[in-house]
Amino acid sequence: MLRFLIPLVIVVASCNKKIPQVSTTTPEVQIETRAASAPIAKNIIFLIGDGMGLGQITAGMYVNGNKTALEDFPVVGLHKCHASNNLITDSAAAATAFSCGVKTFNGAIGVNSDNVSVKTILEEAEEKGLATGLVATSTIVHATPASYIAHNKSRSNYEEIAEDFLDTEVDILIGGGKKYFDRRSDDKNLLTDMSTYNVYSFLDTELEDIAIDITKNLAYFTADDSPLSYEQGRDYLVPAAKLSYEFLKRKNDNGFFIMVEGSQIDWGGHANNQNYIITEFIEYDKVIRDALDFAKRDGNTLVVVTADHETGGFAIQRESKMDSLVTAFTSDYHTGTMIPVFAYGPGSDMFSGIYDNTSIYDKMRKVLGWE
């Protein structure tokens, strides 16, 4: 405990009395420096089903035999997902709320509403010595994964975003978008600058054939641009997520933070395509199950599952049966409905209730013991 002598100034104001003279006494006041809180969890697995509202979850659950891994999460909350400049958010602003804890304008990643860069939770994790990872079924420079590593007023500046990946070393990267690194308009080949990575491509290596080397970081590009849908044959998300948890746990004893996005649930909503949504959700449900199983075995891992927003105004209609759904859409864009949050593991009780999407950032930092 540190002790300091400081003057204590007391001012009392009243509408009926004169302000008294300032005391000139200097009593000893004890001030204790505040240490960082002890971490509640060592690891965080943050799962984002892009565009995954209650309609998407419910439809996927019914088609999946009326079962979903989300039923095993003991804590459920709701978050309010509006952007700083619009009641209806886009993925960039919503993901920035998760990654940086600030509301920002639609289209922006890693910056606040004044277009000022804000440190992300992943960047902070790197600084504090944790291992980190990003896995997505979109390009790795797409809005949601990009918001953890890039700072840009426009989510569409893909080549600029790719360069930002060189500034903070994410321990494991899995997603599409290889062309933004090695076939660019400026003729740069960013892959040559990724000397700390073992870089693999879908063109020459299957995911299961990768020899894991925890002495280096790992980047695996699953497509030149956007990956295929699950219906079209994409099948890497489940094994990629499982590989990532084990890789990060072995790579660093300090703990890890990883974000895994089921990106194309959203794309099915934009397309107003029921089967697209449901097949993407069922695949993502397996990712959720595996994360939950990892957390149960590990005992020090918090799993949080949510979405950035709902897409399509997706609803199950009265003619539906459990094995034969009739659905409808109110939009081909995002909607403003609140979004469910599911949590399991140490610190999960913090995620109950109703709160802004930015609070998820604050709650995750608290779980990790960061003041």
Q: Provide the sign of the torsion angle of the four alpha carbons 173, 174, 175, 177, taken in this order.
A: positive
**pTM for the full model?**
0.90
* pLDDT, mean of each 10-residue run, the chain (371 residues): 37 37 40 62 98 98 98 98 98 98 98 98 98 98 98 98 95 98 97 96 95 95 98 98 97 97 98 98 98 98 98 97 95 98 98 98 97 75
Using the structure block, give the residue that is written with the tokens 């006041």: 29
* Distance, CA of 100 to CA of 357 (rounded, Å): 11
* Distance, CA of 6 to CA of 221 (rounded, Å): 59
Q: How far are the Cα atoms of 185, 223, 368 from residue 75, in angstroms, in the given order?
A: 47, 36, 18
* Distance, CA of 150 to CA of 369 (rounded, Å): 24
* Distance, CA of 72 to CA of 58 (rounded, Å): 15
Domains and CATH numbers, the chain: 41-367 (3.40.720.10)
Q: For residue 86, count other CB atoms closer than 10 A to its CB.
A: 14
Give the number of C-alpha atoms closer than 13 A to the C-alpha of residue 71, restricted to the C-beta side.
8
- Nearest residue to 75 (alpha-carbon basis) of 340, 371, 295: 340
pLDDT of residue 31: 41
Whether the Cβ atoms of residue 39 and residue 298 lie closer than 8 Å to each other: no
Using the structure block, give the residue that is written with the tokens 């209730």: 353
Q: What one-character DSSP code corresponds to residue 209? A: G
Query: Alpha helices of the chain — where are they, by DSSP H?
Result: 54-63, 91-100, 121-127, 143-146, 158-164, 179-182, 237-251, 264-270, 274-298, 358-367
* Distance, CA of 268 to CA of 145 (rounded, Å): 19
